Amino acid sequence: MKFGVVVFPGSNCDADVKYVLEEVMKQPTDYIWHQETSVEGYDCIILPGGFSYGDYLRTGAIARFSPIMKAVEEFADRGGLVLGICNGFQILLEAGLLPGAMKINDDLQFHCHYTYLRVENNRTPFTNLLQEKQVIRIPIAHGEGNFYADEETLRELEENGQVVFRYCTPEGEITPEANPNGSVNNIAGICNKDRNILGMMPHPERCAEEILGGTDGSLIFASILEWWERGGKLGR
């Protein structure tokens, strides 16, 4: 399985993602400069965290016009796997590949710490090695991770099982205190209806080795490989 990690001006987690894919997951991985116009030859595209274009307008609002995003959109339309992490999630929202929007954290503070996530949908290529309602521990690092959607969009996300992760307590309870940024319904990650696009604010690449304090993030990448090795089918 071959991965492509898109690099925008300002990206700062691209090297972390590439390291995990190559050194931990042992998969061939290339950087893809944002001015490229093709993702031919790749099986999964990852939009990493970072501050694309310095977040000088609105997070992801400029990056979504990079030439590579047209190719990413066409790749996703053909069923290709796309994972957006933090700023990558924000870019997917701005590009209209996922519904909703991102606001500044409700306390106006930048948050950088571990969070607990409850797995709400394990029937995606990105979570099929996890159990439903399983609690995993993955760090966040953002100032604009306050996910918002209007009532109709939110209802569709919930009814279609597109909410993949929610912020929770270590025991898996969904409470306001466990929500680090004010996201509606404690949402930390969503997928599209076809479940081949996932956007998540927490950083799985930052907890994929014991030396970093945890390995729960590796389960996301391992799930992608499991899905691929099964020929694009879910299950264990």
For residue 24, what are its two tokens?
Answer: 């931990």
Nearest to 62 by CA among 87, 36, 37: 87
| 203 catalytically annotated | yes
| Distance separating the N- and C-terminal Cα atoms of the chain | 18
Query: Which of 86, 168, 191, 207 is an active site residue?
Result: 86
Query: Which of 94, 120, 144, 205 is an active site residue?
Result: 205
| 205 catalytically annotated | yes
Nearest to 71 by CA among 84, 83, 58, 80: 80
Please, what is the Cα angle at 29 between 118 and 49, to 5 degrees?
A: 45
Query: Which of 144, 168, 203, 207 is an active site residue?
Result: 203
What span, in angstroms and rounded, lies between the C-alpha atoms of 139 and 72?
26
If residue 14 lies in a helix (H) or strand (E), which one and from where to where?
helix 14-19
Q: Would you name the residues annotated as active-site residues?
A: 86, 203, 205
